[in-house]
Amino acid sequence: KYRNSESNIKPKLVEYLQDGILLRFDIKKVQREDGEMFEYKEFWFELNAQNIEEVVNEKGFKLTDVYKNLLK
C-alpha cells in the first residue's frame, strides 16, 4: 500500500531552484484542448556561474541591462 508521509514528499524542485538561477525567455500563453498553458525556453545556472550572459547569447537570447545588474 502506498502511503504519503512527510518524509517522502520532499520539494526537490524548490531545493534545486534555491541553489541556482532560473531564466525563462519567450514566455507565451498557448490555448490547448485541455486548457491554457505557458511555453518558454528555460536555462538554469548555479548561483556562482560566470558564463550566464555568454550561454544565453549563444542560444539566441539577450539579457537586458536590468537583468545583467541583478546577476552581478
Phi-psi sector, 35: left (phi>0), alpha (psi -120 to 50), beta: left
* Identity of the residue numbered 27: I
Q: What is the pLDDT of residue 9?
A: 52
Structure confidence by residue, pLDDT tens digits, 7-36: 455 556 566 667 888 888 988 999 989 999
What is the predicted pLDDT for the residue at 6? 47
- Which pLDDT score is estimated for 57? 92
